[in-house]
């Protein structure tokens, strides 16, 4: 956890240093970019602050938004099996025991979240418990435990923070340049045109930032599938994904945890660029084409 906090802070400092260099170069070329210090402070506060707060509150928000019931004392054999399976996989992956929960939803799905890989949450839908065999459900749980072991929640927050920072800085930087050009570099500060330009640039750059974030999210899914195959067995992981394919990637998960579900919405054409999950057929093909590995742990990405 301390290594990931250090990485978070180092990444933040590196982004701000890079932005400072870019702004200094532009100013040396005679481009007016305003108050660099205030811009960098605002970028740091809004760019990283929002993603970091969301990360810290992720477990609480996931429980509230899905109505998930955390299994504290198993009430039946199915709940006991869930807890035992997650405990065994967590030990193999080298992480602390996550909370295990069930939430009411019709589709086959599950998710993992939490700011700490030793204090996470793994939840499965009632639809998954009804539709999947034990082998398939075991593979889904292994996929989610792999997300936790890989530190995907923290890494996603880092990526989103970097992207948010660049969007904030670049939109205002480019907005000042365009506004200065259109107004003939008048004195007196930015006018209404500047704020309109920045608003449009926030939307445009934000769209490209979302594409980058979703590309990384899709990469995480392939890695979690591979980790699930190592923990539960490749045949079980392939079987679980084939079962998921029968639901056409449906998901009723709230937006804040959709990227961490095993199943996501299906996209076609350019819309695939804004999807958090790759097509299931690609995930299945990647597993089948991967070299065979023994079932073992840990699956932690260093």
Catalytic positions are 144
Token digits of residue 289: 């084409």
H or E segment and range at residue 211: helix 192-232
Q: CA nearest 88: which of 74, 73, 100, 72? A: 100
- Please give the Cα distance from 106 to 18 (Å, whole number): 47
Cis ω for the linkage preceding 298 (within 30 of 0): yes
Answer left, alpha or beta for residue 132, where phi above 0 means left and psi between -120 and 50 means alpha.
beta
Three-state DSSP at 124 gives: strand
Please, what sign has the CA dihedral across residues 178, 182, 184, 189? negative
3-class secondary structure, 295 = coil
Residue 264 phi, psi dihedral angles, 5° rounding = -135, 175
CA atoms of 273 and 190, how far apart (whole Å): 35
């Amino acid at each position: 956890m301390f290594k990931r906090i250090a990485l978070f802070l180092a990444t933040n400092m590196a982004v701000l240093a890079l932005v400072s260099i870019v702004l200094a170069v532009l100013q040396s070329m005679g481009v007016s970019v305003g108050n660099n210090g205030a811009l960098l402070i605002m970028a740091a506060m809004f760019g990283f602050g929002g993603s970091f707060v969301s990360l810290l509150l992720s477990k609480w928000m996931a429980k509230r938004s899905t109505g998930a019931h955390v299994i504290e004392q198993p009430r039946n054999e199915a709940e006991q099996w869930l807890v035992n399976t997650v405990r065994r996989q967590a030990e193999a992956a080298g992480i602390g025991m996550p909370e295990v929960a069930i939430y009411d939803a019709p589709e086959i799905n599950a998710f993992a979240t939490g700011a700490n890989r030793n204090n996470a949450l793994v939840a499965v839908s009632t639809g998954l418990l009804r539709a999947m065999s034990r082998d398939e459900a075991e593979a889904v749980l292994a996929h989610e435990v792999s997300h936790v072991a890989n530190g995907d929640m923290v890494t996603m927050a880092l990526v989103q923070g970097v992207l948010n920072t660049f969007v904030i800085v670049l939109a205002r930087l480019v907005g000042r340049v365009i506004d200065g050009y259109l107004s003939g570099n008048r004195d007196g500060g930015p006018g209404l045109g500047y704020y309109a330009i920045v608003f449009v640039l926030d939307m445009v750059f934000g769209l490209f930032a979302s594409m980058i974030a979703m590309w990384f999210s899709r990469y995480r899914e392939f890695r979690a599938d591979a980790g699930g195959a190592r923990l539960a067995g490749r045949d079980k992981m392939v079987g679980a994904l084939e079962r998921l394919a029968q639901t056409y990637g449906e998901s009723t998960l709230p937006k804040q945890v959709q990227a961490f579900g095993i199943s996501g919405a299906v996209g076609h054409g350019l819309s695939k660029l804004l999807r958090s999950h790759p097509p299931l057929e690609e995930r299945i093909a990647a597993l089948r084409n991967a070299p065979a590995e023994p079932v073992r742990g840990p699956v932690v990405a260093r």
